[in-house]
Structure 1
Protein backbone atom coordinates (compact mmCIF):
# COMPACT_ATOMS: atom_id res chain seq x y z
CA UNK A 1 0.00 0.00 0.00
CA UNK A 2 1.04 3.61 -0.57
CA UNK A 3 1.51 5.24 2.82
CA UNK A 4 2.64 8.64 1.52
CA UNK A 5 2.74 10.32 -1.88
CA UNK A 6 4.06 13.79 -2.74
CA UNK A 7 3.63 15.01 -6.32
CA UNK A 8 4.55 17.97 -8.50
CA UNK A 9 3.02 18.62 -11.91
CA UNK A 10 4.26 20.49 -14.95
CA UNK A 11 1.77 21.89 -17.47
CA UNK A 12 -0.98 19.76 -15.93
CA UNK A 13 0.88 16.43 -16.02
CA UNK A 14 2.67 14.52 -13.29
CA UNK A 15 6.41 15.21 -13.44
CA UNK A 16 7.99 14.44 -10.06
CA UNK A 17 6.82 12.29 -7.20
CA UNK A 18 8.13 10.81 -4.00
CA UNK A 19 6.30 7.68 -2.89
CA UNK A 20 6.51 5.69 0.33
CA UNK A 21 5.29 2.13 -0.21
CA UNK A 22 4.65 -0.74 2.13
CA UNK A 23 5.22 -3.88 0.12
CA UNK A 24 4.06 -6.01 -1.54
CA UNK A 25 2.55 -3.58 -4.03
CA UNK A 26 1.97 -3.23 -7.79
CA UNK A 27 2.36 0.08 -9.59
CA UNK A 28 1.01 0.44 -13.14
CA UNK A 29 3.46 2.97 -14.51
CA UNK A 30 4.36 4.48 -16.92
CA UNK A 31 1.61 4.94 -19.48
CA UNK A 32 1.91 4.06 -23.13
CA UNK A 33 3.24 7.49 -24.22
CA UNK A 34 5.60 8.00 -21.30
CA UNK A 35 9.05 7.04 -20.06
CA UNK A 36 9.93 6.97 -16.41
CA UNK A 37 13.02 7.22 -14.22
CA UNK A 38 12.90 5.79 -10.71
CA UNK A 39 15.43 6.07 -7.90
CA UNK A 40 15.31 3.92 -4.77
CA UNK A 41 15.99 6.12 -1.77
CA UNK A 42 15.46 3.37 0.78
CA UNK A 43 14.64 -0.30 0.54
CA UNK A 44 15.14 -2.99 -2.06
CA UNK A 45 12.71 -3.95 -4.81
CA UNK A 46 12.24 -6.51 -7.56
CA UNK A 47 11.18 -5.44 -11.01
CA UNK A 48 9.47 -8.47 -12.56
CA UNK A 49 9.28 -8.91 -16.31
CA UNK A 50 8.29 -11.95 -18.31
CA UNK A 51 11.81 -13.16 -18.97
CA UNK A 52 13.91 -11.45 -16.33
CA UNK A 53 13.86 -10.05 -12.84
CA UNK A 54 15.97 -7.11 -11.71
CA UNK A 55 16.93 -6.43 -8.11
CA UNK A 56 17.05 -2.69 -7.49
CA UNK A 57 18.87 -1.73 -4.32
CA UNK A 58 19.05 1.50 -2.36
CA UNK A 59 20.80 4.24 -4.40
CA UNK A 60 20.15 2.38 -7.66
CA UNK A 61 17.96 3.71 -10.47
CA UNK A 62 15.97 2.45 -13.45
CA UNK A 63 14.90 4.08 -16.70
CA UNK A 64 12.01 2.42 -18.52
CA UNK A 65 10.61 3.00 -21.97
CA UNK A 66 7.05 4.05 -22.67
CA UNK A 67 4.54 1.24 -22.56
CA UNK A 68 6.31 -0.86 -19.93
CA UNK A 69 5.00 -1.30 -16.42
CA UNK A 70 6.30 -1.77 -12.91
CA UNK A 71 4.37 -5.01 -12.68
CA UNK A 72 5.61 -6.08 -9.26
CA UNK A 73 7.25 -4.22 -6.44
CA UNK A 74 8.17 -6.15 -3.35
CA UNK A 75 11.15 -6.22 -1.07
CA UNK A 76 12.92 -9.21 0.32
CA UNK A 77 12.24 -8.24 3.93
CA UNK A 78 8.57 -7.45 3.86
CA UNK A 79 8.63 -5.43 7.08
CA UNK A 80 10.61 -2.73 5.30
CA UNK A 81 9.22 0.46 3.79
CA UNK A 82 10.24 1.52 0.31
CA UNK A 83 10.95 5.17 -0.54
CA UNK A 84 11.14 5.87 -4.25
CA UNK A 85 11.50 8.95 -6.44
CA UNK A 86 9.72 8.86 -9.82
CA UNK A 87 10.48 11.26 -12.66
CA UNK A 88 8.07 11.15 -15.59
CA UNK A 89 8.99 12.06 -19.17
CA UNK A 90 6.06 13.09 -21.42
CA UNK A 91 6.97 13.97 -25.03
CA UNK A 92 4.63 16.97 -25.17
CA UNK A 93 6.04 18.37 -21.91
CA UNK A 94 9.61 17.88 -23.09
CA UNK A 95 8.86 19.78 -26.30
CA UNK A 96 7.59 22.69 -24.21
CA UNK A 97 10.59 22.92 -21.91
CA UNK A 98 13.03 22.61 -24.81
CA UNK A 99 11.57 25.44 -26.85
CA UNK A 100 14.28 25.67 -29.50
CA UNK A 101 15.63 22.17 -30.01
CA UNK A 102 15.48 18.82 -28.27
CA UNK A 103 18.82 17.50 -26.96
CA UNK A 104 20.59 14.84 -29.03
CA UNK A 105 19.73 12.21 -26.39
CA UNK A 106 16.20 12.15 -27.92
CA UNK A 107 17.46 11.52 -31.47
CA UNK A 108 17.11 8.03 -32.86
CA UNK A 109 20.57 6.37 -32.74
CA UNK A 110 21.99 4.93 -35.94
CA UNK A 111 21.97 1.38 -34.62
CA UNK A 112 18.71 1.32 -32.69
CA UNK A 113 17.95 -1.94 -30.93
CA UNK A 114 14.25 -2.77 -30.95
CA UNK A 115 14.31 -4.75 -27.70
CA UNK A 116 15.88 -2.04 -25.54
CA UNK A 117 13.31 -1.07 -22.93
CA UNK A 118 15.01 -0.86 -19.55
CA UNK A 119 18.28 0.45 -18.15
CA UNK A 120 19.59 -0.03 -14.63
CA UNK A 121 21.94 2.61 -13.23
CA UNK A 122 24.00 1.45 -10.27
CA UNK A 123 24.84 3.89 -7.50
CA UNK A 124 25.89 6.78 -9.76
CA UNK A 125 27.50 9.60 -7.75
CA UNK A 126 26.11 12.51 -9.79
CA UNK A 127 22.59 11.11 -9.81
CA UNK A 128 22.81 10.53 -6.07
CA UNK A 129 23.70 14.23 -5.59
CA UNK A 130 20.87 15.22 -7.93
CA UNK A 131 18.38 13.24 -5.81
CA UNK A 132 19.69 14.88 -2.65
CA UNK A 133 18.97 18.28 -4.21
CA UNK A 134 15.53 17.14 -5.36
CA UNK A 135 14.66 15.95 -1.86
CA UNK A 136 15.28 19.49 -0.60
CA UNK A 137 12.23 20.63 -2.57
CA UNK A 138 10.10 17.76 -1.28
CA UNK A 139 11.09 18.86 2.23
CA UNK A 140 10.34 22.51 1.35
CA UNK A 141 7.33 22.41 -1.01
CA UNK A 142 6.68 26.15 -0.73
CA UNK A 143 9.93 26.78 -2.65
CA UNK A 144 9.05 24.76 -5.76
CA UNK A 145 7.25 26.03 -8.85
CA UNK A 146 6.83 24.96 -12.49
CA UNK A 147 10.04 26.71 -13.53
CA UNK A 148 12.04 24.70 -11.00
CA UNK A 149 10.30 21.47 -12.01
CA UNK A 150 11.26 22.15 -15.64
CA UNK A 151 14.87 22.80 -14.59
CA UNK A 152 14.98 19.56 -12.58
CA UNK A 153 13.72 17.61 -15.61
CA UNK A 154 16.43 19.15 -17.79
CA UNK A 155 19.04 18.46 -15.13
CA UNK A 156 18.29 14.73 -14.82
CA UNK A 157 18.30 14.35 -18.60
CA UNK A 158 21.70 16.06 -18.75
CA UNK A 159 23.05 13.74 -16.04
CA UNK A 160 21.68 10.65 -17.78
CA UNK A 161 23.58 11.71 -20.89
CA UNK A 162 26.81 11.64 -18.89
CA UNK A 163 26.44 8.18 -17.36
CA UNK A 164 28.20 5.15 -18.81
CA UNK A 165 24.71 3.94 -19.79
CA UNK A 166 24.16 6.90 -22.15
CA UNK A 167 23.88 4.79 -25.36
CA UNK A 168 21.15 2.58 -23.85
CA UNK A 169 19.41 5.62 -22.36
CA UNK A 170 19.32 7.22 -25.81
CA UNK A 171 17.75 4.04 -27.20
CA UNK A 172 14.97 4.34 -24.63
CA UNK A 173 14.32 8.10 -24.67
CA UNK A 174 14.36 8.32 -28.47
CA UNK A 175 11.24 6.14 -28.50
CA UNK A 176 9.27 9.03 -26.99
CA UNK A 177 9.54 10.86 -30.31
CA UNK A 178 10.09 7.98 -32.71
CA UNK A 179 8.27 4.98 -31.27
CA UNK A 180 9.13 1.53 -32.56
CA UNK A 181 6.36 -0.25 -34.43
CA UNK A 182 5.54 -3.52 -32.72
CA UNK A 183 3.63 -6.46 -34.07
CA UNK A 184 0.56 -7.57 -32.14
CA UNK A 185 2.43 -10.62 -30.83
CA UNK A 186 5.43 -8.56 -29.68
CA UNK A 187 3.13 -6.24 -27.74
CA UNK A 188 1.29 -9.11 -26.11
CA UNK A 189 4.44 -11.08 -25.27
CA UNK A 190 5.93 -7.97 -23.63
CA UNK A 191 2.83 -7.38 -21.49
CA UNK A 192 1.49 -10.84 -20.63
CA UNK A 193 2.74 -10.46 -17.06
CA UNK A 194 2.00 -6.75 -16.68
CA UNK A 195 -1.38 -7.22 -14.92
CA UNK A 196 -3.15 -5.04 -17.46
CA UNK A 197 -6.82 -5.76 -17.95
CA UNK A 198 -8.06 -7.16 -21.28
CA UNK A 199 -9.52 -3.73 -22.02
CA UNK A 200 -6.16 -2.04 -21.31
CA UNK A 201 -4.34 -4.53 -23.54
CA UNK A 202 -6.82 -3.73 -26.31
CA UNK A 203 -6.14 0.00 -25.87
CA UNK A 204 -2.40 -0.69 -25.91
CA UNK A 205 -2.75 -2.38 -29.30
CA UNK A 206 -5.07 0.39 -30.62
CA UNK A 207 -7.93 -2.04 -31.18
CA UNK A 208 -11.51 -2.16 -30.02
CA UNK A 209 -12.22 -4.83 -27.41
CA UNK A 210 -14.02 -7.09 -29.91
CA UNK A 211 -11.30 -6.67 -32.57
CA UNK A 212 -8.63 -7.33 -29.95
CA UNK A 213 -10.25 -10.60 -28.89
CA UNK A 214 -10.52 -11.74 -32.50
CA UNK A 215 -6.88 -10.88 -33.22
CA UNK A 216 -5.73 -12.56 -30.01
CA UNK A 217 -7.64 -15.74 -30.88
CA UNK A 218 -6.10 -15.75 -34.36
CA UNK A 219 -2.54 -15.38 -33.04
CA UNK A 220 -2.68 -17.54 -29.89
CA UNK A 221 -5.57 -19.90 -30.68
CA UNK A 222 -7.13 -19.16 -27.30
CA UNK A 223 -9.08 -16.42 -25.56
CA UNK A 224 -7.04 -13.65 -23.85
CA UNK A 225 -8.31 -14.58 -20.38
CA UNK A 226 -7.52 -18.30 -20.71
CA UNK A 227 -4.13 -17.79 -22.33
CA UNK A 228 -2.91 -15.14 -19.86
CA UNK A 229 -4.13 -17.12 -16.87
CA UNK A 230 -2.41 -20.26 -18.16
CA UNK A 231 0.89 -18.42 -18.73
CA UNK A 232 0.80 -16.94 -15.22
CA UNK A 233 0.16 -20.37 -13.70
CA UNK A 234 3.05 -21.84 -15.71
CA UNK A 235 5.30 -19.09 -14.40
CA UNK A 236 4.10 -19.82 -10.84
CA UNK A 237 4.91 -23.51 -11.31
CA UNK A 238 8.41 -22.64 -12.51
CA UNK A 239 9.01 -20.33 -9.53
CA UNK A 240 7.75 -23.00 -7.12
CA UNK A 241 10.28 -25.39 -8.63
CA UNK A 242 13.36 -23.14 -8.79
CA UNK A 243 12.89 -20.99 -5.65
CA UNK A 244 12.04 -21.28 -1.98
CA UNK A 245 9.84 -18.17 -2.07
CA UNK A 246 6.61 -18.40 -0.11
CA UNK A 247 3.56 -19.52 -2.07
CA UNK A 248 1.78 -16.26 -1.18
CA UNK A 249 4.60 -14.18 -2.67
CA UNK A 250 4.77 -16.30 -5.81
CA UNK A 251 1.04 -15.93 -6.32
CA UNK A 252 1.39 -12.17 -6.01
CA UNK A 253 4.40 -12.06 -8.35
CA UNK A 254 2.41 -13.91 -10.98
CA UNK A 255 -0.54 -11.54 -10.84
CA UNK A 256 -2.89 -13.27 -8.40
CA UNK A 257 -4.10 -10.98 -5.63
CA UNK A 258 -6.31 -13.65 -4.04
CA UNK A 259 -4.47 -16.69 -2.66
CA UNK A 260 -7.59 -18.83 -2.64
CA UNK A 261 -8.27 -18.06 -6.31
CA UNK A 262 -4.64 -18.81 -7.15
CA UNK A 263 -4.70 -22.14 -5.28
CA UNK A 264 -7.91 -23.24 -7.00
CA UNK A 265 -6.67 -22.23 -10.45
CA UNK A 266 -3.36 -24.00 -9.82
CA UNK A 267 -5.17 -27.14 -8.65
CA UNK A 268 -7.36 -27.11 -11.76
CA UNK A 269 -4.36 -26.87 -14.10
CA UNK A 270 -1.77 -29.08 -12.37
CA UNK A 271 -4.09 -31.41 -10.40
CA UNK A 272 -2.40 -30.65 -7.08
CA UNK A 273 -1.93 -27.74 -4.69
CA UNK A 274 1.02 -25.34 -5.11
CA UNK A 275 2.69 -26.73 -1.97
CA UNK A 276 2.31 -30.33 -3.11
CA UNK A 277 3.56 -29.41 -6.59
CA UNK A 278 6.76 -28.01 -5.06
CA UNK A 279 7.17 -31.07 -2.87
CA UNK A 280 6.61 -33.47 -5.78
CA UNK A 281 9.16 -31.65 -7.97
CA UNK A 282 11.78 -31.82 -5.23
CA UNK A 283 11.11 -35.55 -4.73
CA UNK A 284 11.62 -36.15 -8.44
CA UNK A 285 15.01 -34.43 -8.27
CA UNK A 286 16.08 -36.77 -5.48
CA UNK A 287 14.99 -39.94 -7.29
Structure 2
Protein backbone atom coordinates (compact mmCIF):
# COMPACT_ATOMS: atom_id res chain seq x y z
CA UNK A 1 0.00 0.00 0.00
CA UNK A 2 1.02 3.64 -0.55
CA UNK A 3 1.98 5.38 2.70
CA UNK A 4 3.14 8.71 1.23
CA UNK A 5 2.92 10.25 -2.22
CA UNK A 6 4.40 13.45 -3.62
CA UNK A 7 4.63 14.69 -7.18
CA UNK A 8 5.55 17.59 -9.44
CA UNK A 9 3.52 18.31 -12.58
CA UNK A 10 4.84 19.94 -15.75
CA UNK A 11 2.45 21.32 -18.37
CA UNK A 12 -0.46 19.49 -16.77
CA UNK A 13 1.16 16.06 -16.60
CA UNK A 14 2.93 14.22 -13.79
CA UNK A 15 6.68 14.51 -14.30
CA UNK A 16 8.39 13.47 -11.06
CA UNK A 17 6.95 11.31 -8.28
CA UNK A 18 8.17 10.08 -4.92
CA UNK A 19 6.22 7.10 -3.63
CA UNK A 20 6.61 5.47 -0.22
CA UNK A 21 5.29 1.92 -0.19
CA UNK A 22 4.54 -0.67 2.44
CA UNK A 23 4.63 -4.26 1.12
CA UNK A 24 2.89 -6.07 -0.24
CA UNK A 25 2.34 -3.72 -3.16
CA UNK A 26 1.72 -4.12 -6.87
CA UNK A 27 1.53 -1.55 -9.66
CA UNK A 28 0.73 -2.18 -13.33
CA UNK A 29 1.88 0.47 -15.81
CA UNK A 30 -0.84 1.71 -18.17
CA UNK A 31 -0.08 1.65 -21.88
CA UNK A 32 0.90 5.16 -22.97
CA UNK A 33 3.29 7.12 -25.15
CA UNK A 34 5.81 7.59 -22.37
CA UNK A 35 8.84 6.06 -20.71
CA UNK A 36 9.81 6.02 -17.03
CA UNK A 37 13.04 6.16 -15.06
CA UNK A 38 12.58 4.44 -11.68
CA UNK A 39 15.11 4.79 -8.88
CA UNK A 40 14.83 2.57 -5.79
CA UNK A 41 15.66 4.75 -2.78
CA UNK A 42 14.87 2.07 -0.22
CA UNK A 43 13.81 -1.56 -0.26
CA UNK A 44 13.52 -3.80 -3.31
CA UNK A 45 11.06 -4.25 -6.14
CA UNK A 46 10.47 -6.95 -8.73
CA UNK A 47 9.85 -5.92 -12.32
CA UNK A 48 7.88 -8.34 -14.44
CA UNK A 49 6.54 -8.27 -18.00
CA UNK A 50 5.49 -11.65 -19.31
CA UNK A 51 8.47 -13.96 -18.87
CA UNK A 52 10.83 -11.03 -18.28
CA UNK A 53 11.73 -10.70 -14.60
CA UNK A 54 14.23 -8.42 -12.88
CA UNK A 55 14.92 -7.56 -9.24
CA UNK A 56 15.76 -3.92 -8.53
CA UNK A 57 17.58 -3.38 -5.24
CA UNK A 58 18.26 -0.25 -3.15
CA UNK A 59 20.04 2.49 -5.16
CA UNK A 60 19.48 0.63 -8.43
CA UNK A 61 17.30 1.95 -11.22
CA UNK A 62 15.26 0.85 -14.19
CA UNK A 63 14.31 2.50 -17.45
CA UNK A 64 11.26 1.21 -19.29
CA UNK A 65 8.83 2.25 -21.97
CA UNK A 66 5.07 1.97 -21.57
CA UNK A 67 4.16 1.37 -25.21
CA UNK A 68 3.22 -2.24 -24.53
CA UNK A 69 1.01 -3.81 -21.90
CA UNK A 70 1.87 -6.23 -19.09
CA UNK A 71 4.56 -4.25 -17.24
CA UNK A 72 4.37 -4.43 -13.48
CA UNK A 73 6.44 -3.73 -10.37
CA UNK A 74 5.71 -5.44 -7.09
CA UNK A 75 7.13 -6.43 -3.72
CA UNK A 76 6.00 -9.02 -1.21
CA UNK A 77 8.79 -8.44 1.32
CA UNK A 78 6.73 -7.48 4.37
CA UNK A 79 9.84 -6.57 6.39
CA UNK A 80 11.10 -3.77 4.14
CA UNK A 81 9.25 -0.61 3.18
CA UNK A 82 10.09 0.85 -0.19
CA UNK A 83 10.70 4.33 -1.56
CA UNK A 84 10.74 4.96 -5.29
CA UNK A 85 11.47 8.09 -7.32
CA UNK A 86 9.95 8.09 -10.81
CA UNK A 87 10.73 10.50 -13.66
CA UNK A 88 8.33 10.19 -16.59
CA UNK A 89 9.26 11.06 -20.18
CA UNK A 90 6.09 12.23 -21.97
CA UNK A 91 6.42 12.37 -25.75
CA UNK A 92 4.46 15.63 -26.11
CA UNK A 93 6.43 17.35 -23.34
CA UNK A 94 9.72 16.30 -24.93
CA UNK A 95 8.60 17.76 -28.25
CA UNK A 96 7.66 20.97 -26.48
CA UNK A 97 10.90 21.51 -24.57
CA UNK A 98 13.07 20.47 -27.51
CA UNK A 99 11.22 22.64 -30.00
CA UNK A 100 14.13 22.81 -32.46
CA UNK A 101 15.53 19.29 -32.44
CA UNK A 102 15.03 16.16 -30.36
CA UNK A 103 18.35 14.99 -28.79
CA UNK A 104 20.22 12.09 -30.35
CA UNK A 105 19.29 9.80 -27.44
CA UNK A 106 15.69 9.76 -28.77
CA UNK A 107 16.69 8.87 -32.32
CA UNK A 108 16.78 5.21 -33.44
CA UNK A 109 20.18 3.54 -33.67
CA UNK A 110 21.21 0.22 -35.16
CA UNK A 111 20.27 -1.83 -32.12
CA UNK A 112 17.24 -4.11 -32.02
CA UNK A 113 14.16 -1.96 -31.48
CA UNK A 114 11.97 -4.28 -29.40
CA UNK A 115 13.74 -3.83 -26.07
CA UNK A 116 11.32 -2.43 -23.51
CA UNK A 117 13.40 -2.10 -20.35
CA UNK A 118 16.95 -1.77 -19.12
CA UNK A 119 18.61 -1.82 -15.72
CA UNK A 120 20.78 1.28 -15.33
CA UNK A 121 24.15 0.97 -13.63
CA UNK A 122 24.02 4.12 -11.58
CA UNK A 123 27.04 6.31 -11.37
CA UNK A 124 27.90 9.10 -8.96
CA UNK A 125 26.16 11.80 -11.02
CA UNK A 126 22.81 10.01 -11.14
CA UNK A 127 22.88 9.52 -7.38
CA UNK A 128 23.58 13.24 -6.97
CA UNK A 129 20.68 13.97 -9.34
CA UNK A 130 18.34 11.96 -7.09
CA UNK A 131 19.67 13.84 -4.06
CA UNK A 132 18.72 17.05 -5.84
CA UNK A 133 15.17 15.82 -6.43
CA UNK A 134 14.85 14.92 -2.76
CA UNK A 135 15.85 18.49 -1.88
CA UNK A 136 12.98 19.83 -4.00
CA UNK A 137 10.49 17.39 -2.45
CA UNK A 138 11.54 18.80 0.93
CA UNK A 139 11.25 22.37 -0.40
CA UNK A 140 8.37 22.28 -2.92
CA UNK A 141 7.85 26.05 -2.87
CA UNK A 142 11.13 26.42 -4.77
CA UNK A 143 9.84 24.39 -7.72
CA UNK A 144 8.53 25.98 -10.93
CA UNK A 145 8.20 24.96 -14.58
CA UNK A 146 11.65 26.29 -15.48
CA UNK A 147 13.32 24.14 -12.82
CA UNK A 148 11.33 21.07 -13.84
CA UNK A 149 12.35 21.52 -17.48
CA UNK A 150 15.98 21.75 -16.37
CA UNK A 151 15.66 18.61 -14.22
CA UNK A 152 14.10 16.71 -17.11
CA UNK A 153 16.87 17.74 -19.49
CA UNK A 154 19.47 16.93 -16.84
CA UNK A 155 18.40 13.29 -16.36
CA UNK A 156 18.29 12.82 -20.14
CA UNK A 157 21.86 14.09 -20.42
CA UNK A 158 23.02 11.89 -17.55
CA UNK A 159 21.38 8.75 -18.98
CA UNK A 160 23.01 9.48 -22.33
CA UNK A 161 26.44 9.44 -20.65
CA UNK A 162 26.10 6.22 -18.64
CA UNK A 163 27.71 2.96 -19.71
CA UNK A 164 24.17 1.84 -20.62
CA UNK A 165 23.70 4.65 -23.14
CA UNK A 166 23.00 2.28 -26.04
CA UNK A 167 20.25 0.53 -24.11
CA UNK A 168 18.82 3.90 -23.06
CA UNK A 169 18.74 5.03 -26.69
CA UNK A 170 16.98 1.86 -27.83
CA UNK A 171 14.23 2.34 -25.23
CA UNK A 172 13.74 6.10 -25.52
CA UNK A 173 13.84 6.13 -29.32
CA UNK A 174 10.71 3.98 -29.37
CA UNK A 175 8.74 7.00 -28.17
CA UNK A 176 9.29 8.56 -31.59
CA UNK A 177 8.91 5.39 -33.67
CA UNK A 178 5.68 4.29 -35.29
CA UNK A 179 3.81 2.04 -32.88
CA UNK A 180 0.83 -0.21 -33.57
CA UNK A 181 -1.50 -0.55 -30.61
CA UNK A 182 -3.72 -3.54 -29.96
CA UNK A 183 -7.38 -3.06 -29.04
CA UNK A 184 -6.67 -3.44 -25.31
CA UNK A 185 -3.73 -1.05 -25.50
CA UNK A 186 -5.96 1.63 -27.04
CA UNK A 187 -8.44 1.22 -24.17
CA UNK A 188 -5.78 1.26 -21.45
CA UNK A 189 -3.99 4.25 -22.96
CA UNK A 190 -7.16 6.35 -22.95
CA UNK A 191 -8.98 5.23 -19.81
CA UNK A 192 -8.56 8.60 -18.10
CA UNK A 193 -8.68 10.85 -21.16
CA UNK A 194 -11.51 13.26 -21.93
CA UNK A 195 -12.79 11.23 -24.85
CA UNK A 196 -15.97 9.27 -25.52
CA UNK A 197 -16.91 5.91 -26.99
CA UNK A 198 -17.03 7.29 -30.54
CA UNK A 199 -13.44 8.55 -30.23
CA UNK A 200 -12.23 5.20 -28.85
CA UNK A 201 -13.93 3.40 -31.70
CA UNK A 202 -12.21 5.69 -34.19
CA UNK A 203 -8.82 5.11 -32.56
CA UNK A 204 -9.45 1.36 -32.84
CA UNK A 205 -10.40 1.73 -36.53
CA UNK A 206 -13.86 0.26 -35.83
CA UNK A 207 -17.44 1.41 -36.13
CA UNK A 208 -19.15 2.16 -32.81
CA UNK A 209 -21.27 -1.00 -33.01
CA UNK A 210 -18.25 -3.19 -33.86
CA UNK A 211 -16.24 -1.51 -31.09
CA UNK A 212 -18.95 -2.29 -28.51
CA UNK A 213 -19.14 -5.93 -29.61
CA UNK A 214 -15.36 -6.36 -29.43
CA UNK A 215 -15.27 -4.64 -26.03
CA UNK A 216 -17.99 -6.89 -24.62
CA UNK A 217 -16.14 -9.95 -25.90
CA UNK A 218 -12.83 -8.96 -24.23
CA UNK A 219 -14.01 -7.30 -21.01
CA UNK A 220 -17.42 -8.93 -20.45
CA UNK A 221 -18.85 -5.47 -19.78
CA UNK A 222 -20.12 -2.47 -21.69
CA UNK A 223 -17.54 0.24 -22.55
CA UNK A 224 -19.43 2.92 -20.60
CA UNK A 225 -19.74 0.86 -17.41
CA UNK A 226 -16.19 -0.51 -17.47
CA UNK A 227 -14.57 2.86 -18.16
CA UNK A 228 -16.68 4.64 -15.52
CA UNK A 229 -15.71 2.06 -12.88
CA UNK A 230 -12.00 2.31 -13.71
CA UNK A 231 -12.16 6.09 -13.51
CA UNK A 232 -13.94 5.97 -10.16
CA UNK A 233 -11.39 3.48 -8.80
CA UNK A 234 -8.58 5.82 -9.89
CA UNK A 235 -10.34 8.78 -8.28
CA UNK A 236 -10.73 6.86 -5.01
CA UNK A 237 -7.01 6.04 -5.08
CA UNK A 238 -6.08 9.71 -5.60
CA UNK A 239 -8.41 10.78 -2.80
CA UNK A 240 -6.59 8.35 -0.50
CA UNK A 241 -3.02 9.34 -1.37
CA UNK A 242 -3.16 13.01 -2.37
CA UNK A 243 -4.54 16.31 -1.11
CA UNK A 244 -5.52 17.53 -4.58
CA UNK A 245 -8.79 19.38 -5.13
CA UNK A 246 -11.73 17.11 -5.84
CA UNK A 247 -12.47 19.05 -9.03
CA UNK A 248 -8.93 18.43 -10.30
CA UNK A 249 -9.06 14.75 -9.37
CA UNK A 250 -12.36 14.34 -11.22
CA UNK A 251 -10.90 15.98 -14.32
CA UNK A 252 -7.66 13.97 -14.15
CA UNK A 253 -9.70 10.76 -14.04
CA UNK A 254 -11.67 11.59 -17.18
CA UNK A 255 -14.80 13.28 -15.75
CA UNK A 256 -15.68 16.67 -17.22
CA UNK A 257 -18.67 17.33 -14.96
CA UNK A 258 -18.25 17.54 -11.19
CA UNK A 259 -21.93 16.85 -10.45
CA UNK A 260 -21.87 13.70 -12.56
CA UNK A 261 -18.62 12.59 -10.90
CA UNK A 262 -20.04 13.15 -7.39
CA UNK A 263 -23.24 11.24 -8.22
CA UNK A 264 -21.32 8.34 -9.80
CA UNK A 265 -18.83 8.22 -6.91
CA UNK A 266 -21.63 8.11 -4.34
CA UNK A 267 -23.35 5.35 -6.31
CA UNK A 268 -20.20 3.19 -6.21
CA UNK A 269 -18.81 3.95 -2.73
CA UNK A 270 -21.91 5.05 -0.82
CA UNK A 271 -20.42 8.43 0.18
CA UNK A 272 -19.54 11.69 -1.52
CA UNK A 273 -15.87 12.16 -2.56
CA UNK A 274 -15.23 14.67 0.25
CA UNK A 275 -16.66 12.32 2.88
CA UNK A 276 -14.70 9.41 1.42
CA UNK A 277 -11.47 11.34 1.97
CA UNK A 278 -12.48 12.22 5.53
CA UNK A 279 -13.16 8.55 6.32
CA UNK A 280 -9.71 7.60 5.03
CA UNK A 281 -8.05 10.26 7.20
CA UNK A 282 -9.79 9.12 10.37
**Structure-1-length-normalised TM-score:** 0.63
CA distance in 1, matches of 2:179, 2:201: 13
Change (3 A) 1:100 1:54: same
Report if the CA contact (8 A) 1:36-1:63 is conserved: yes
Number of equivalenced pairs: 209
SS at match of 2:54: strand
Alignment-derived partner of residue 128 in structure 2:
129
2:93 paired with 1:87? no
Change (3 A) 1:212 1:36: farther
Change (3 A) 1:12 1:52: same
Report if the CA contact (8 A) 2:24-2:76 is conserved: no
CA distance in 2, matches of 1:60, 1:80: 16
CA distance in 2, matches of 1:72, 1:170: 22
Deviation at 1:23, TM superposition (A): 2.0
Deviation at 1:96, TM superposition (A): 1.6
Report if the CA contact (8 A) 1:8-1:14 is conserved: yes
Unaligned runs of 5+ in 1: 217-222, 227-287
Alignment-derived partner of residue 37 in structure 2:
37
CA distance in 2, matches of 1:6, 1:143: 15
CA distance in 2, matches of 1:120, 1:70: 18
- Deviation string, structure 1 residues 152-179 (Cα, Å, up to 9, x no partner): 0000000000011111111111111223
Deviation at 1:2, TM superposition (A): 1.1
Change (3 A) 1:42 1:179: farther
- Deviation string, structure 1 residues 42-73 (Cα, Å, up to 9, x no partner): 01010111112110001111111132467443
SS at match of 2:75: coil
- Deviation string, structure 1 residues 171-208 (Cα, Å, up to 9, x no partner): 111111223446x5xx98xx8xxxx69x89x9699536
Report if the CA contact (8 A) 1:66-1:175 is conserved: no
Q: Larger Cα Rg: Structure 1 or Structure 2?
A: 1
Alignment-derived partner of residue 120 in structure 1:
119
Report if the CA contact (8 A) 2:46-2:54 is conserved: yes
CA distance in 1, matches of 2:71, 2:28: 6
**Structure-2-length-normalised TM-score:** 0.64
Unaligned runs of 5+ in 2: 221-282
Change (3 A) 1:213 1:172: farther
2:42 paired with 1:28? no
